[in-house]
């Protein structure tokens, strides 16, 4: 259900004619349903239209034509779309990544574009370690074994059919040492792991005990390789067949950053051939994935559906920052501009 909120607190379902709105949210479902009252605060500067989903460029143009402010999470605003929306002055990205907006076109039009930095740092770090533990401890596997009677039918006090791995003393290799990479490394360090980092930051800026390595050295030394970098021309396909060949056969790959940093066919081949021990992934190159994505059937590959960012706490934090961004812009002092 799509909902229109008014500054006086009234709200009603949008049906038929697209209403004139000062603020438009193109894909509210990514955070909360349009009828969730958390959206109401965004109507303080004028009528607010919250759409569950916007599926086509034609819908985007129709819904935003009279808008002054547009919020989007995954709906793309191309240069052509931006050029066709002369009333829009502000674009708020309801995420950290801004690749869905043609920033050059927005700047040429004098638009302000903001994003939401660091809202999900703790949640993503937690998920990265959860994926690692899913691989090393196989809690779900063993819980299922117990529930299906395999322990009950065992002669011994313990039942084991899959090896368990202790992480203490192993090398935790981090690619990208921003907020999330740093937070994940801290958890790994607390587990007794030795943190190795690929970063542009100098060694002197790293926490005590952390070691900065060149990229290929990082691949060679990693027992666990965890990606926390943005998707750029340099990081696209960073983990490829050549670098997988450098890695230890017992190494584990974790990715909570962006799917395309990994050559998925190369990783699937390495997993299936036993040249890499396991992978834990929260992101894929295409989302939702195509049924023929090779990682969906790869051995020892745990995949979650891009949920690392989506804890209740992180989503509420995102909403708070998005509203603060809008208020700052309305007051003439924009924050979190990109």
pLDDT tens-place string over residues 159-196: 999 999 999 999 999 999 999 999 999 999 999 999 99
Q: Tell me the CATH number for domain 3-119+312-330.
A: 3.40.50.720
Q: Which of 8-12, 38-42, 113-117, 233-237 has the lowest mean pLDDT?
A: 8-12
Q: What is the mean pLDDT of residues 104-115?
A: 97
DSSP 22: S
Q: What is the mean pLDDT of residues 249-273?
A: 98
Structure confidence by residue, pLDDT tens digits, 131-161: 999 999 999 999 999 999 999 999 999 999 9
Q: Which of 16-20, 65-69, 322-326 has the lowest mean pLDDT?
A: 16-20
Question: How far is it, in rounded angstroms, from Cα 294 to Cα 300?
Answer: 13
Question: How far is it, in rounded angstroms, from Cα 109 to Cα 180?
Answer: 33
Q: Which of 228, 258, 315, 317 is catalytic?
A: 258
Structure confidence by residue, pLDDT tens digits, 61-105: 999 999 999 999 999 999 999 999 999 999 999 999 898 999 999
Question: How far is it, in rounded angstroms, from Cα 51 to Cα 14?
Answer: 9
Q: What is the mean pLDDT of residues 313-325?
A: 98
CATH fold label, 121-303: Rossmann fold (3.40.50)
Instruction: Please report, in angstroms and rounded to a whole number, the separation of the first and last CA atoms in the chain.
Output: 31
In this structure, are strands 171-175 and 23-25 parallel, antiparallel, or unpaired? Answer: unpaired
Q: Which of 13, 234, 250, 287 is catalytic?
A: 287
pLDDT of 18: 73
How many CB atoms are located within 10 Å of the residue 281 CB?
A: 22
**Can you name the residues that pair with 101 across neighbouring β-strands?**
77
Question: How far is it, in rounded angstroms, from Cα 150 to Cα 144?
Answer: 9
pLDDT of 17: 72
Question: From start to end of 95-229, where are the E strands?
Answer: 112-114, 171-175, 194-198, 211-212, 224-227
Query: Can you give the residue ranges of every domain in the chain?
Result: 3-119+312-330, 121-303
Task: Report in angstroms the alpha-carbon separations of 335 from 116, 160, 183, 328, 338.
Answer: 10, 54, 24, 6, 9
Tell me if domain 3-119+312-330 and domain 121-303 are identical in fold. yes
In contact, 113 and 106? CB cutoff 8 Å: yes
pLDDT of 47: 94
Known catalytic membership, residue 287: yes
**Can you name the residues that pair with 50 across neighbouring β-strands?**
3, 25
Q: Which of 306, 320, 327, 330 is catalytic?
A: 306
How many CB atoms are located within 10 Å of the residue 208 CB?
A: 5
Question: How far is it, in rounded angstroms, from Cα 82 to Cα 88?
Answer: 8
Known catalytic membership, residue 80: no
Question: How far is it, in rounded angstroms, from Cα 338 to Cα 323?
Answer: 16
pLDDT of 19: 74
> Can you read off the two tokens belonging to residue 174?
């981090």
pLDDT band at 314 (very low <50, low <70, confident <90, very high): very high
pLDDT band at 15 (very low <50, low <70, confident <90, very high): confident
- Measured at the CA of 181, the angle between CA 338 and CA 214, to 5 degrees, comes to 100
| pTM of structure | 0.91
pLDDT of 21: 80
> Can you read off the two tokens belonging to residue 125?
């770090």
pLDDT averaged over every residue in the chain = 96
Task: Report in angstroms the alpha-carbon separations of 1 from 10, 41, 76, 316, 318.
Answer: 16, 18, 21, 21, 22
How many CB atoms are located within 10 Å of the residue 148 CB?
A: 10
């Amino acid at each position: 259900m799509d909902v229109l909120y008014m500054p006086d607190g009234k709200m009603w379902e949008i049906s038929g004619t697209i209403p004139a709105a000062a603020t438009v949210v193109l894909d509210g479902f990514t955070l909360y349903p349009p009828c969730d009252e958390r959206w109401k605060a965004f109507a303080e500067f004028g009528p607010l239209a919250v759409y569950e989903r916007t599926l086509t460029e034609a819908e985007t143009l129709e819904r935003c034509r009279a808008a002054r402010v547009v919020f989007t999470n995954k709906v793309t605003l191309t240069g052509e779309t931006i050029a066709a929306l002369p009333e829009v002055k502000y674009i708020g990205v309801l995420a950290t990544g801004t690749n869905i907006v043609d920033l050059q076109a927005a700047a040429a039009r004098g638009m302000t574009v903001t994003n939401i930095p660091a809202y999900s740092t703790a949640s993503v770090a937690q998920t990265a370690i959860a994926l690692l533990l899913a691989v090393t401890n196989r809690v779900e596997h063993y819980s299922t074994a117990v529930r299906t009677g395999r322990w009950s039918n065992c002669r011994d006090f313990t039942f084991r059919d899959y090896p368990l791995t202790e992480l203490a003393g192993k090398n935790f290799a981090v690619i990208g040492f921003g907020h999330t990479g740093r937070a994940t490394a801290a958890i790994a360090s607390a587990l007794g792991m030795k943190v190795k980092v690929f970063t542009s930051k100098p060694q002197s800026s790293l926490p005590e005990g952390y070691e900065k390595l060149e990229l290929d050295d990082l691949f060679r030394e990693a027992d666990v390789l965890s990606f926390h970098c943005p998707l750029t021309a340099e990081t696209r396909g960073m983990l490829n067949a050549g670098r997988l060949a450098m890695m230890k056969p017992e190494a584990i790959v974790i990715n909570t950053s962006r799917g395309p940093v990994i050559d998925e066919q190369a990783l699937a081949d390495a997993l299936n051939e036993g040249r890499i021990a396991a992978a834990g992934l929260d992101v894929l190159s295409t989302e939702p994935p195509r049924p023929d994505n090779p990682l969906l059937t790869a051995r020892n590959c745990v995949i979650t559906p891009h949920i690392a960012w989506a804890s209740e706490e992180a989503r509420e934090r995102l909403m708070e920052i998005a509203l603060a961004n809008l208020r700052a812009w309305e007051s003439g002092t924009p924050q979190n501009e990109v």
